[in-house]
């Protein structure tokens, strides 16, 4: 399987990512992608920016492990994960996961799986800066923990 992981400050192009996955093999029938972006309101608070911190030596290792698990579990031809770090504003892209397969169900499942595990396993942290000047580190959502637990339960 073709795989690429990037942790970067700059933005990404989804068209370039789709083309990259299609270049690898003409057997690709479908690519599912998820683009996560900064919302202007989170849990009722007006967000002015998000600061993304990560654990440099660890993050790519964790993401590679998630892609390995996805490759073993789904019928994948390729996958790309791009995650931005640093200061981001409402409307800006944070993360991209794209999964290519011969058939669509595997592409959807693998992309969703990688996003769900990224949320609970990849060493990124978000600090929210609000319009009122306040700052706070976000907490992991219970729904994110549940999503990973659901995949674990479905494993067999």
Partner 1 sequence: MIRVKYFASLRERMNRGEDQIEVSGDQLTLADVLARLTLPDGQTLQLLSLAETMMLSVNHEMVDIDHVVKGGDEIGIFPPVTGG
Asked if 40 is part of the footprint of a copy of itself (rule: CB under 8 A), the reply reads yes
What whole-number distance in Å separates Cα of residue 104 and Cα of residue 111?
11
Contact call for residue 58 and partner 1 (CB under 8 A) = yes
Among 41, 133, 153, 156, binds a copy of itself (CB under 8 A): 41
Identify which of residues 3 and 18 has a Cβ nearer to a copy of itself in the complex: 18
**C-beta atoms surrounding 106 within 10 Å:** 21
Residue 52 binds which entry of a copy of itself, partner 1, none, with Cβ cut-offs from 5 to 8 Å by kind? partner 1
In the region spanning residues 38 to 57, those forming contacts with partner 1, defined by CB under 8 A, are 52-55, 57
* Chosen from a copy of itself, partner 1, none, partner binding at 154 (C-beta under 5 to 8 Å by type): none
Q: Where in 93-122 is the site for a copy of itself (CB under 8 A)? A: 102-105, 107-108, 111-112, 115
Does 125 participate in binding partner 1 (rule CB under 8 A)? yes
């Amino acid at each position: 399987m073709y795989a690429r992981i990037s942790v970067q400050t700059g933005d990404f192009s989804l068209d370039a990512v789709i083309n990259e996955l299609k270049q690898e093999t003409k057997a690709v029938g479908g690519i599912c992608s998820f683009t996560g972006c900064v919302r202007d309101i989170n849990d009722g608070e007006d967000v002015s920016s998000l600061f993304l911190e990560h654990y440099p030596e660890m993050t790519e290792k964790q993401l590679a492990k998630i892609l390995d698990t996805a490759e073993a579990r789904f019928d994948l031809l390729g996958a790309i994960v791009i995650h931005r770090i640093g200061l981001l504003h409402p409307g800006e892209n944070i993360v991209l996961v794209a999964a290519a397969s011969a058939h669509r169900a595997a592409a959807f499942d693998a992309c969703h799986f990688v996003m769900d595990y990224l949320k609970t396993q990849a060493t990124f942290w978000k600090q929210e800066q609000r319009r009122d000047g306040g700052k706070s580190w976000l907490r992991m959502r219970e729904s994110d923990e549940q999503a990973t637990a659901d995949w674990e339960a479905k494993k067999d």
